[in-house]
Chain A
Amino acid sequence: MNGAAILERLRARLGASVVETHDQHGDHTAVIERTALPAALGLCRDDSDLGFDVLMDLTAVDYQKYPGREDGPRFEVVYHLYSLRWNHRVRIKARVDEDDAVVPTAVPLWPIADWLEREVWDMFGVRFEGHPDLRRLLMYEEFVGHPLRKDYPINRRQPLIGPQI
């Protein structure tokens, strides 16, 4: 299946849950409603023609300071899927607001989502509903805030010991 056919299949099966699609630079992307995310990811994994058996990457982007998107949903959670069987890729995205930054978890589908979702929670403060153990992955427990958010200053240090600079 080529990228366009993958997007077509997603649109056919998910209907209005597919908010928009594009294929910038050859990366086929579908933006999905947050509530339809488990169904969409499940479809991607289990549909034999799609066959996305690998969750290559899961990350997020903070669009707070992106020109033209300051008012829109602040975060985008980005899934990069790959199919070992068919050797094709797709990118799935879901948009969430800052005051309701919750996304359904993907841990039941792919166990690797466990750590990747913990990292997104750590770095962006996006919570994953249904995650078995959502704690920080990279930073320490005492750390306050989410460093990859655009409003976190890069040099705001929170030392555990030593001078407080």
Chain B
Amino acid sequence: MGVGSFFTSRLDEAIGWARKYSIFQYPFVTACCGMEYMATACSHYDVDRFGAGLPRFSPRQADVLFVVGTISHKMAPVLKRIYEQMTEPKWVVAFGVCTCTGGFYDNYATVQGIDTIIPVDVYIPGCPPRPESVIDGLMKLQDKIAVGAQRY
């Protein structure tokens, strides 16, 4: 192992550490889960403690896509377009069971899990998930961001 690769891996770690505490999220809020998203984002549960307090309402400025709520087939192309507009590096969180699997909406209108359309990094189940489990999912995402290979 040469000196160069030592530096690269240490640099990766440092960048990963920095990145995991500066999550700029794009909340793609469609449905009921948005209420719990609001609760998580506000002072009571305070997602700012994890460096994820600032939602960016433009996909181009965000690096984590929070898909919050049921995605219908009418909405699916919009979601894909938004995902494609985000710049690398980017992560996706499926917030709530509708985004994970379609939930109990097994019908003609609902997409059965957003991972049929876009790749997903963290799944947060629950209908809707409590803020505690949202924070748990967020911490899992932070771990994933910190240990993964960093592109810069």
Interface residues of A (CB under 8 A from B): 139-140, 147, 152-163, 165
How far apart sit A165 and B108, CA to CA, in the bound complex (Å)?
10
On whether the beta carbons of B116 and A156 are closer than 8 Å, the reply is: no
Whether A157 contacts B73 in the complex (CB less than 8 A), given A147-B109, A152-B108, comes out as: yes
On whether the beta carbons of B108 and A154 are closer than 8 Å, the reply is: yes
- If over half of B's interface residues share one DSSP class (helix, strand or loop), that class is named, otherwise mixed; here it is loop
On whether the beta carbons of B74 and A140 are closer than 8 Å, the reply is: yes
On whether the beta carbons of B76 and A161 are closer than 8 Å, the reply is: yes
On whether the beta carbons of A162 and B116 are closer than 8 Å, the reply is: yes
When C-beta atoms are compared, the residue in chain A nearest to B74 turns out to be A140
On whether the beta carbons of A155 and B111 are closer than 8 Å, the reply is: no
| 5 residue pairs from A and B, CB less than 8 Å apart | A158-B73, A160-B74, A160-B77, A161-B76, A162-B111
Contacts of A161 in B (CB 8 A): 76-77, 80, 117
Question: How many Å from the CB of B120 to the closest CB on chain A?
Answer: 13
How far apart sit A90 and B74, CA to CA, in the bound complex (Å)?
36
Whether A163 contacts B108 in the complex (CB less than 8 A), given A139-B74, A140-B74, A157-B73, comes out as: no
Whether A156 contacts B108 in the complex (CB less than 8 A), given A162-B116, A162-B117, comes out as: yes
Contacts of A165 in B (CB 8 A): 112
On whether the beta carbons of A159 and B73 are closer than 8 Å, the reply is: yes
Contacts of A159 in B (CB 8 A): 73, 76, 111
Extra pairs beyond A139-B74, A155-B106, A155-B108 (8, CB < 8 Å) = A147-B108, A154-B107, A160-B76, A160-B77, A161-B77, A161-B80, A162-B76, A162-B116
How far apart sit A147 and B107, CA to CA, in the bound complex (Å)?
10
Question: How many Å from the CB of B104 to the closest CB on chain A?
Answer: 12
